[in-house]
């Protein structure tokens, strides 16, 4: 197929490669694929902690299989215990109100538009903005580990995360005596379970921290006992119910253990559970309310975990790189398998995920709605649309806030917030409140769900949200004196540009075209007529602006390739083709020139984890598979994948799950292609070194 035909292919038929394993008629040995990529840890490494979870709840442990050294790991990949429901707010004695963080802006639309922003000047607006950025924040629900144990007493570490069964096996010695811990999380409950073999009868410490309210940390203030309290509500020989009270927040921990053990409260927020047997088990169920049912046993949890994870790996999409001879293939396979596991345990809950998942807090534990596509598009592409369908209903619960944001700024429809929490409240931000590229994500993700299950129930479920989202998008697009529609008054995905000066960033223009077209298709599926105004906007959206045969970061940014600021951020221009299918707004030759310039000249040391998949996806659609692979495996700090699979960014963001999700989506495109693509494995070189085999992956639009 010629480059031109590849670029403009728009047929809706699925390629045969979407139905069969590529490269071979034989089925992939999925268990072998997963198990050869299980992390194996043999020394204390604070960046190699391991996690178990279920999407709603996750626990991260150190080499002991428990959370014995939370302080030691606090600057690595922290030992978090987090749940989607676990949030807290500090007191608000001055009755600061969200509307006090609003500031009016004039973007030339004949009215003032109030945005939730940050303030430099002292006063109530400054205080309100700061309070609502910090509050609510996500809680660390509690650390459970061996009491009084020091790292230098541990030797002979042999720890494995078995992703096929969801079990962490931790074997080590304490003072020369063997200890074995097996750790699980129940697939349907917010519950940690562990079995322990230990002749020394090491006691367990249950430690409950007060939150820090920090921008990016483990959320553990271990020095604020006077500000919170832990009570034993009830106890018997093999169980206890704990209540943790922090300001107006209360939650419970239902402890249960087998064998002979004694529970003692050592301080206001610490308890010790001391066993008398060489082999015993313990479970800790974290709940927002008093439990109504008895928790499963450790054996039941182990069996449920094994069943869940075998089902996950058996039914979903997988990619096998073991037949490749390129020496980089093994590392790419490791990243893919670990990313699938991490996103399933960290980013598949009832609310959108934060960028560090359920491991530790970034941006106060809040989630960023422009990142939801990066976390979760891959679920639908890899046959786990049920996990994506857990989260999207959150948009329904937050649509009232989205409508209020649009109305206060004078727009129709639903304007989705950027940085938020389960309530949907918009966190004040000098950048986030002016972003718009989170707006079409709902339409894209719902479309992926429909493609996975094209039935009327899916249409009925998401149709109102899609229409409200598109209604805002159509109203936001503004017709200028030449008759074209423009986008302005925004900070684009390339965040170095200013809202007051920016007109027509390329990714946003292309995304508007794609999402409005898709919303019209949903109207037709619903049996409703197309909206004439939307079709007018689709037909008259501004084409991407170029200079010297290179696409600009915005029509108003002619200095794109000469200003180091603009080449030290996201290369969002490439997202206009790659993440998205080609559109009439894009010219193939100019986009090809732009890709070449970015690939050769961008300041790659100043990029983020999702920029590498963005570049790879653009390369695939343009017909450059060698460079797609190179982009995914570029040797840069922010493209580092730790032994546990986390995408490391810097000392602040040791986890960055949008990078993991972007990697999976890019690999899906490289394998299954897109609608109308007739090339097998379009993202991999055809030199014989990339014999990539895969099953169960769907093509992108």
* pLDDT tens-digit map of 415-473: 999 999 999 999 999 999 999 999 999 999 999 999 999 999 999 999 999 999 999 99
Mean pLDDT of 496-514: 97
- For 95, counting Cβ atoms within 10 Å of its Cβ (0-12 exposed, 13-18 middle, 19+ buried), the class is exposed
Q: How confident is the model at residue 565 (pLDDT cuts 50, 70, 90)?
A: confident
- Element housing 72 (H / E): helix 70-73
Q: What residue spans define the domains of the chain?
A: 42-88+138-309, 98-134
Predicted local distance difference test score (pLDDT) of residue 446: 98
> Which sign does the torsion angle of CA 253, 254, 259, 260 carry?
positive
Question: Is the model's pLDDT at 15 over the cut of 60?
Answer: no
Mean of per-residue pLDDT scores for the chain: 95
CA distance 172 to 174: 7
Percent above pLDDT 70 for the chain: 96
For the segment 254-275, the average pLDDT, to the nearest whole number, is: 97
Asked if the model's pLDDT at residue 64 lies above 50, the reply is yes
pLDDT attached to residue 20: 42
How far is 220 from 139, CA to CA, in rounded Å? 8
d(CA 601, CA 191): 49
Task: Please report the pLDDT score of residue 11 as a whole number.
Answer: 34
The stretch 76-98 carries a mean pLDDT of 98
Distances (CA, A) of 539 to 533, 542, 580, 583, 584: 10, 9, 17, 11, 9
**What digits encode the pLDDT tens for the residues 540-562?**
999 999 999 999 999 999 999 99
In the prediction, which pLDDT does 22 show? 54
| Residue range 189-220, pLDDT digits in tens | 999 999 999 999 999 999 999 999 999 999 99
Q: Which pLDDT value is given to residue 26?
A: 83
Query: According to the model, what pLDDT value does residue 6 have?
Result: 35
Contact 446, 457 (CB under 8 A): no
Per the model's pLDDT, the better-predicted residue between 25 and 296 turns out to be 296
Rg (CA), the chain: 26
Residue 274 pLDDT > 70, yes or no?
A: yes
Average pLDDT (494-515) is 97
Q: Is the pLDDT score of 18 beyond 70? A: no
How many percent of the chain have pLDDT more than 90?
95
- The string of pLDDT tens digits covering residues 595-606 is 999 999 999 999
- Domain spanning 42-88+138-309, CATH architecture: Distorted Sandwich (2.70)
Strands of the sheet containing 81-83, edge to edge, are 50-53, 57-61, 81-83
d(CA 483, CA 454): 37
Tens-digit pLDDT profile for residues 308-358? 999 999 999 999 999 999 999 999 999 999 999 999 999 999 999 999 999
User: What is the rounded average pLDDT of the residues 607-611?
Assistant: 97
Give the confidence band of 25 by pLDDT, cuts at 50, 70, 90.
low
Pairing relationship of beta strands 239-246 and 228-236 according to DSSP bridges: antiparallel
Q: Tell whether the torsion through CA atoms of 507, 508, 510 and 516 is positive or negative.
A: positive
Angle between helices 625-632 and 657-672 (to 10 degrees): 160
- From residue 399, give the alpha-carbon distance in Å to each of 369, 409, 464: 13, 16, 10
pLDDT tens readout for residues 99-155: 999 999 999 999 999 999 999 999 999 999 999 999 999 999 999 999 999 999 999
Helix (H, G, I), strand (E, B) or coil at 620: helix
Residue 395 — very low, low, confident or very high, per pLDDT cuts 50/70/90? very high
Nearest CA among 669, 459, 497 for reference residue 575: 669
Mean per-residue pLDDT, 93-101: 97
- CA dist 625 and 582 (Å) reads 17
Angle between helices 506-526 and 456-476 (to 10 degrees): 140
What pLDDT, on the 0 to 100 scale, is given for residue 16?
37
pLDDT-derived band at 530, boundaries 50, 70, 90: very high
């Amino acid at each position: 197929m010629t480059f031109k035909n590849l670029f403009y292919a728009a047929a809706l038929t699925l390629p045969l490669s979407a139905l069969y394993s590529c490269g071979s008629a034989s089925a992939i040995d999925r268990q072998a694929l997963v198990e050869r990529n299980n992390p194996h840890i043999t020394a204390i490494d604070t960046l190699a902690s391991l996690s178990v979870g279920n999407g709603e709840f996750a626990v991260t442990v150190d080499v002991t299989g428990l959370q014995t050294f939370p302080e030691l790991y606090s600057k690595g990949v922290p030992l978090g215990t987090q749940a989607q429901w676990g949030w807290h707010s500090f007191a608000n004695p001055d009755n600061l109100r969200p509307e006090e963080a609003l500031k009016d802006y004039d973007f030339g639309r004949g009215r003032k538009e109030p945005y939730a922003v940050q303030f430099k000047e002292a006063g109530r607006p400054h205080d309100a903005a700061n309070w609502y950025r910090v509050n609510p924040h996500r809680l660390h629900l509690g650390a459970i580990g061996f009491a009084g144990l020091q790292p230098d007493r541990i030797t002979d570490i042999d720890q494995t995360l078995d992703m096929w069964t969801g079990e962490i096996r931790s074997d080590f010695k304490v003072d020369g005596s063997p200890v074995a811990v097996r750790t699980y999380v129940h697939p349907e409950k917010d519950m940690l379970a562990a079995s322990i073999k230990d002749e020394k009868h090491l006691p367990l410490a249950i430690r409950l921290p007060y939150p820090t309210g920090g921008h990016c940390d483990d959320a553990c203030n271990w020095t604020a006992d006077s500000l919170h309290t832990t009570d034993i509500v009830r106890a018997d020989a093999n169980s206890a119910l704990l209540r943790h009270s922090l300001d107006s927040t209360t939650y419970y921990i239902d402890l249960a253990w087998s064998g002979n053990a004694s529970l003692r409260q050592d301080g206001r927020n610490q308890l010790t559970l001391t066993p008398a047997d060489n082999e015993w088990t313990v479970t800790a169920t974290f709940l927002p309310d008093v439990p109504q049912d008895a928790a499963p046993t450790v054996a039941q949890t182990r069996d449920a975990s094994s069943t869940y994870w075998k089902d996950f790996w058996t039914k979903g999409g997988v990619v096998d790189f073991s037949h490749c001879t390129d020496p980089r293939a093994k590392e790419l396979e490791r990243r893919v398998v670990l990313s699938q596991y991490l996103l399933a345990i960290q980013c598949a809950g009832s609310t959108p995920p934060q960028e560090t998942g359920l491991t530790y807090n970034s941006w106060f534990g809040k989630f960023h709605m422009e990142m939801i596509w990066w976390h979760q598009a891959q679920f639908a592409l890899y046959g786990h649309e049920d996990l994506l369908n857990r989260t999207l209903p959150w948009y329904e619960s937050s649509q009232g806030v989205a409508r209020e944001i649009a109305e206060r700024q004078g727009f129709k429809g639903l304007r989705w917030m950027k940085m938020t929490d389960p309530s949907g409240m918009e966190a004040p931000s000098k950048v986030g409140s002016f972003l718009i590229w989170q707006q079409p994500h709902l339409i894209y993700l719902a479309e992926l769900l429909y493609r996975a299950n094209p039935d009327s129930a899916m249409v009925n479920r998401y149709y109102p949200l899609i229409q409200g989202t598109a209604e805002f998008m159509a109203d936001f697009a503004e017709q200028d004196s030449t008759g074209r529609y423009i986008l302005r008054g925004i900070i684009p995905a390339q965040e170095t540009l200013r809202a007051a000066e920016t007109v027509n960033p390329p990714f946003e223009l292309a995304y508007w075209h794609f999402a409005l077209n898709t919303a019209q298709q949903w109207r037709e599926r619903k049996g409703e007529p197309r909206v004439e105004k939307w079709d007018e906007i689709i037909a008259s959206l501004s084409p991407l602006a170029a200079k010297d045969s290179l696409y600009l970061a915005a029509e108003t940014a002619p200095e794109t390739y000469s200003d180091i600021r603009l080449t030290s951020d996201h290369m969002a221009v490439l997202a206009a083709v790659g993440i998205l299918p080609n559109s009439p707004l894009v010219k193939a030759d100019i986009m090809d020139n732009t890709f070449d310039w970015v690939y050769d000249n961008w300041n790659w040391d100043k990029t983020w984890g999702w920029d590498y998949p963005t570049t790879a996806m653009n390369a695939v659609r343009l017909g450059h598979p060698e460079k797609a692979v190179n982009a995914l495996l570029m040797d840069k700090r922010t493209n580092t994948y730790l032994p546990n699979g986390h995408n490391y960014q810097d000392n602040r963001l040791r986890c960055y799950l949008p990078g993991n999700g972007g990697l999976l989506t890019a690999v899906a495109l490289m394998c299954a292609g897109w609608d109308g693509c007739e090339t097998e494995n379009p993202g991999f070189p055809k030199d014989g070194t990339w014999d990539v085999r895969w099953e169960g992956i769907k093509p992108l639009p």
